[in-house]
Amino acid sequence: MADIPRLNGVIRALEAGKPAFTSFCQADPETAIAMSTAKYDGIVYEMEHNPWDIRALRDSLQYMLNRGQIAKSSSPAPSVTPMVRIPPNGAEKAQFQAKQALDLGVYGIVWPHISSLEEAYNAV
C-alpha cells in the first residue's frame, strides 16, 4: 500500500523532523489571498482576541484555495495549512466553535488556556 501524503503541511514538516513555520493572521479575504502563497507551513486565524466571525473564516478559507495549484499538485490541500485559534472556555465550553471551524475546513484548532486534564479531554 502506497503512503498517503499528509494534507496538513504543519504535520508533514514535523514528521520530516523539520520545524513548522506558522503565522497568526486575521480572518478576511485580503489577508487570506496574501497568506495563501506565503512561505509558511501553516497559518492560524486569530479568533481568540478578535470577534468570532464564522462567515469571515469561511470566506478566508475559500480565498486560500488556489485552483491552479490544486490541479498541478493533484492534491486538494492548500499550500499553506489553515488553522484557527478559538476563544477560550468561559461559562460555556467552546466545543461548538471548534466544531464550526472544523466543519468549514480548517486543518487544526489552537485551543487556548488549557490548564487541567479535564479541559484537555474536553478539547479532544
> Rounded distance, CA 62 to CA 73, Å?
18
Give which of 106, 81, 96, 57 is closest to 5, Cα–Cα. 81
CB 64 within 8 A of CB 30: no
Domains of the chain: 9-123 (3.20.20.60)
Quote the pTM value: 0.87
The pLDDT > 70 percentage for the chain reads 97
The pLDDT tens digits of the residues spanning 13-48 come to: 999 999 999 999 999 999 999 998 899 999 999 999
